[in-house]
Each structure stands twice: as structure tokens, then as C-alpha cells.
Structure 1
Amino acid sequence: MTSVTEDSAQATRPRGDDDPSLHDPVDDDPTSPARVAWRRRTAIEMVVSGVLGLITSFVLSIEAWRLAKDPQATFSCDFSSVISCSTVAKTWQAELLGFPNAFLGIAFEVVVITISVAAIGGVRFPRWFMLGTQVLYTIALAFAYWLFLQSYFVIGALCPWCLLITATTTLVWAGLTRWNIRDGHLRLPGRAGPWSRGLVASGYDWYLTIAVLVVLVAAILLKYGPVLLAS
């Protein structure tokens, strides 16, 4: 009788439960109050960043509309020859797919805000859905940094609104990755699995996120610092 009970328990155990890369060093139960609260805090952080990104995308969309009507229009964020949204907006990089990039920003932010608000309400999404969102937002992150590098090295001008979107996209991607790693959706191979879950559970991954943003700011100051407000 005992063996039957043990066999039944083993059969009903979640698949992959013995995989050490899926164990959380702080709280291994994804439905525990502590994990639910942690997931809600992460979702709130993503909502705040996503809303800022959405507002910024709307502003850039309006500016792009004005520029389409008047190619000589100047933007509210044209402060100098270096800090100039209109200079960036008039390049081909600003309409890579044939329409203003800000429209893509609106679509990406709406998706992540919707998911985050649902998570705040206690909704848990299946692994395939969360991994699909991870891929989608990784593309958004790569696109945001590609645009930054184009502005930095090729265009020679910076758009404050675009920089804000780069920062918010970084924060949202970090939050989404944190969420997927700790909940076991994103499973890194070998020792990277337990290490990444321990890093996220301890909150040390925030240092990596902050370091990326600091490097971003430092790169801007290093190249443009002396002439940021030059006329």
C-alpha cells in the first residue's frame, strides 16, 4: 500500500521538479504568498516603466505626424545641434519599416502593460505565452539599442524621448526576464540555471540593470558632454 502511495505521489509530481535549475533558493513554491507578492511587485515595476514608454511613444507619434505635414517643423525637444529630436526623426532609421518607429513602441508597450496588469490581479500565464512575450520584447530591446547606436555613431544627434524609451525598454525587459527566470519559464542550461535563479531571488540582478543604464549615460556624457547644450 505504501509503495502505491509513493508511486502515485511521484506520478503527480510536476514534471521537471527534480531539475535543480528550477528550484528557487528563497521560495520554491510559485503559488506561495511571498512569490505572489514578489510577482506583483515586479509587474508593478513593469507597468510604471511601460506607461512611461507608452506616453513617450505617443509624444513621438504626434511629433512624427507634425513632421509629415511640415518637413521643416521643429520639435519641442530640439535644444541644440546634439539634442535634437527632429534631426533624428528626419533620418531613414526613424522609419525603418516605412512608418514612424514610435508606432511600434505603442504596440510593444500595450502588450507588456496588459500582461503586467493581469499579473497584478493574480493571473498566471502559461510558459509558452511568457516565452513568446520574452522573444517579442527581446526584439524590442535589440531594436531600441540599435536605434541608440545609430544616433550615437551615425546620425550624430540624440533624441531625449528616444533615450527615455531605451531606458524604459531596458527596465521592462529586465523585469520580464526576472519574472521568467524565477518562475521557471526561462530555463538556462547547466549551472547557469541555479545561478540565475539565485541572482534574481536575491535581487542582485538589479545591479546589472542599473549598471547597463549607467554605462548608457556615461557613453553619452563621454562623447557629447561638453556640447550637450550648445546652440
Structure 2
Amino acid sequence: MPDQQTHTRPTGLAIWLVIAGVIGWWAAFSLTVEKFEKLADPNAIASCDLSVLVQCSANLDSWQGTVFGFPNPILGLSGWIAPIVVGVAILAGARFARWFWWCFWAGIAFAFGFVVWLISQSIYAPNLHTLCPWCMATWSVTIPTFYAVTLHLLRSGVAPVSAGVQRVAGRLMAWVPLAAIVSYAIILLLAQLEMDAIVNIWQTFFG
């Protein structure tokens, strides 16, 4: 097993972490604002309520939207700061210890697992059957971020793997965008099979 880390200044990953963090944070902020407006006026129509299928209100008002006892967007407001800080720190020349990378990966892995669960709830839960625009923005950056950070741990020597696994992980890093697109396609396929999502989305935006 290799003892020394490689790829200690992954510039490409750092740039992506900043971009993903900004998108994820803005989505969480927008959902938080929508939640505040709903609390102030329960009859208010959220700006992201575009149709029966494409809307935020059902998600914000559901038990799934407050699964930890408070609105889910609050997790995003705090959590998405971490990728931004880590990305900027890497660009500034910071080097992180193994334990830091493992803690960071654990947070990203939690976000990924939570997003997978929320996707399943949005598509299959009887009280939802909706696609929340800001939620989908969060999904779109969480999925590739998890892939990229996981591969970085493998390629850099943070994870105790062989040199061969490191080389494979390094090569797979270039395929993260394709893996993300395939993941989006699978989500769309599941949504299409369950609630005819493609037709409904088309009618929502193109009438």
C-alpha cells in the first residue's frame, strides 16, 4: 500500500467543489426563502411551483422536507459551505491530512445518500410525485461531487489501496461528467416510468 499521497493539489476538483458549492448553496438558500414565505403565508404560491409535477411546495410541506425536525434546506445552507471552503483552500495551496479528507468524504457521502433517498421519495412517495426545481439543482451537483471526491481519495493514496487501483481511479476521474449524465438519465427514466415526467416537464415549460 502506498504511504505517500499523490494529487495533493487537485486543481480541477477544487474548481468543481467551488462551483458545486455555490450552486448547492444558492438552491438551499432559495428553498429556505420559499419556506419562510410559506410559513408567513400558508396560502402563498412558491415561485418554483410551475405545475402539479414541477413544484417545491409539496416537498417543503411534506414530512420528508423536515425529516430531521427542521427544514432540509438548512442542511444545505450549512453543508455547502464546506466544498466552497475546501475548494478555495486547495486553490490557495492548502494540503489536507488523511483524516480531513475522510471527514470531508463522509459529509459528501451522507449528502449523496440523503439525495438518493429524497429522489426516491419525490418519485415514489404517494404524498409527493413531484420534481422540485431547486431540489433537482441540488441533486445535479451532489451526484458528481460524490463521484469526484471518492475517486480522488482512491487515486491520491488517502484510501489504503494498491497503486493499480490508484491508476484506475485517476483515469476514471475524467469520466465523472459522463457518469453524472448517466445518473441523471436513470433518474429521468425512473420518473418517466412512474409519472410520465418527460411529457409533463415539456408541457410545463413549452406549453
Counterpart of 2:43 in 1: which secondary structure? Answer: coil
Counterpart of 1:200 in 2: which secondary structure? Answer: helix
Tell me: CA distance 1:87–1:180, structure 2 relative to 1, closer, same or farther (3 Å).
Answer: same
Which AA in structure 1 matches 2:168? L
**What's the counterpart of residue 90 of structure 2?**
119
**What's the counterpart of residue 118 of structure 2?**
147
**What's the counterpart of residue 156 of structure 1?**
129
**What's the counterpart of residue 73 of structure 2?**
102
Which AA in structure 1 matches 2:156? D
**What's the counterpart of residue 45 of structure 1?**
16
RMSD: 2.2
Tell me: CA distance 1:78–1:132, structure 2 relative to 1, closer, same or farther (3 Å).
Answer: same
Question: What is the Cα deviation at residue 204 of structure 1?
Answer: 4.6
Which AA in structure 1 matches 2:23? L
Tell me: CA distance 1:143–1:29, structure 2 relative to 1, closer, same or farther (3 Å).
Answer: closer
**What's the counterpart of residue 58 of structure 2?**
87
Q: Given the alignment of the two structures, is residue 169 of structure 1 paired with residue 142 of structure 2, yes or no?
A: yes
Q: Which of the numbers 180, 186, 192 marks the counterpart of 2:153?
A: 180
**What's the counterpart of residue 211 of structure 1?**
182
Structure 1 gap ranges (5+) = 1-18
Q: How many pairs were matched up? A: 198
Matched residues in 2 for 1:225 and 1:36: separation? 42
Structure 2 gap ranges (5+) = none
Structure 2 length as normaliser, TM-score?
0.86
Counterpart of 1:214 in 2: which secondary structure? Answer: helix
Matched residues in 2 for 1:93 and 1:195: separation? 42
Counterpart of 2:152 in 1: which secondary structure? Answer: helix
Q: How does 1:181-200 map to 2 (within 5 A)?
A: 181-188=154-161, 193-194=162-163, 196-200=165-169
Matched residues in 2 for 1:46 and 1:143: separation? 19
8 Å CA contact retained: 1:82, 1:157: yes
Q: How does 1:132-143 map to 2 (within 5 A)?
A: 132-143=103-114
Matched residues in 2 for 1:98 and 1:172: separation? 26
Q: How does 1:50-65 map to 2 (within 5 A)?
A: 50-65=21-36
8 Å CA contact retained: 2:17, 2:87: yes
**What's the counterpart of residue 69 of structure 1?**
40
Matched residues in 1 for 2:116 and 2:141: separation? 12
Looking at CA atoms only, which structure, 1 or 2, has the larger radius of gyration?
1
Matched residues in 1 for 2:30 and 2:88: separation? 23
Q: Given the alignment of the two structures, is residue 226 of structure 1 paired with residue 195 of structure 2, yes or no?
A: no
Identity of aligned residues (%): 26
Matched residues in 1 for 2:81 and 2:91: separation? 15
Matched residues in 2 for 1:115 and 1:58: separation? 20
